[in-house]
Amino acid sequence: MRGILMRNTAYSSAQTADLHMWLWRLGLGVLIGQFNLLLTTIGKQSGFPRRASVPYFFVNGKIYALAMPDEQWYQNALANPLATLQSAYGTQSVSVRRVTDTKEMADAFAHLRHYRPTTAAIYLAQAGVTRFPDDLAAAAPRIHLVTFEPTTAQTPPPLEADLSWLTVIGVLFIGWLLRRRPRRRTRKVLRKA
């Protein structure tokens, strides 16, 4: 398993990422933002804003995310750590920092092992951690855990909910369809005397 790159197809596929972007643009970021944050970074080569949907978790009030070394958002964040983070809790300007402190890493993975045991087990196995937390210090260079720290510096613009009017029209249309369905007519049955 060590030589195989772990891919969580539920989060890394282009179709899912596109769906998450559409949901944000439709104004449904409050729903999708409970599980995935929308991270806007500056492209490492292009210099243009790039967006990615990233699963995240909280530990002691701090936001953390797991990354694979070949993921584009992670490469962009390493090249330019200033980013804009959008979640269900709002939009904020952040600086992306890779966690290298083993104590902080151990706390984050202890939390992750409790609340998302499958994700933690797969990721730690990929990094070569067989005994947690004993092997964590040796595997730290292979673990790509990042945290997002608030900043006042200029960051890329957030993704606007420019299609939220479609959500309103969709809800109205569904309401119209539900009202339009035929109603049952009750027949009066005459009793014969």
Phi-psi domain of 54 (left: phi exceeds 0; alpha: psi -120 through 50; beta: other): beta
Per residue of the chain (193 residues), give pLDDT as tens: 334 344 444 444 566 778 888 888 888 888 888 889 999 999 999 999 999 999 999 999 999 999 999 999 999 999 999 999 999 999 999 999 999 999 999 999 999 999 999 999 999 999 988 888 888 889 999 999 999 999 999 999 998 888 888 888 888 889 888 888 666 666 666 666 5
Contact 39, 93 (CB under 8 A): no
User: What is the model's pTM?
Assistant: 0.77
Measured on CA atoms in the order 136, 140, 142, 148, is the torsion positive or negative?
positive
Fold of 9-180: Pnp Oxidase; Chain A (2.30.110)
Q: In angstroms, how far is the first alpha carbon of the chain from the final one?
A: 83
